[in-house]
Amino acid sequence: MTAIPAEHDPARLLLICDHCGRADDSGPHEVWPVLWAHALANGWGGRDRAIGPHSCPRCAG
């Protein structure tokens, strides 16, 4: 699973790149659609489902 609860705030989601392991924990993302919209706007790629796979901007490029 590539969208997991954040370590210090389980109400927030953390998006993890399936290729390099980089994580995106910027912003208050408590629901998947908000996190995914933010990730897409910042260059992430992959499936629009929390189970992935997802790629950070470096790996998606």
Q: Helix/strand/coil (H, E, C) string of 14-42?
A: EEECCCCCCEECCCCCCCHHHHHHHHHHC
Write out the chain's pLDDT in tens, 61 residues. Answer: 466 656 666 667 788 899 999 887 776 667 888 888 988 999 999 999 888 899 999 998 7
Q: Which of 36, 41, 40 is nearest to 51 (CA)?
A: 36
Q: What is the distance between the alpha carbons of residues 20 and 9, in angstroms, rounded to a whole number?
A: 23
Q: Which domain holds residue 39?
A: 3-60
Question: What's the pLDDT at 30?
Answer: 72
Torsion of CA 13, 16, 18, 22, to 10 degrees: 180
Q: How many domains does the chain contain in total?
A: 1
Question: What's the pLDDT at 1?
Answer: 43
Q: What is the distance between the alpha carbons of residues 46 and 36, in angstroms, rounded to a whole number?
A: 10
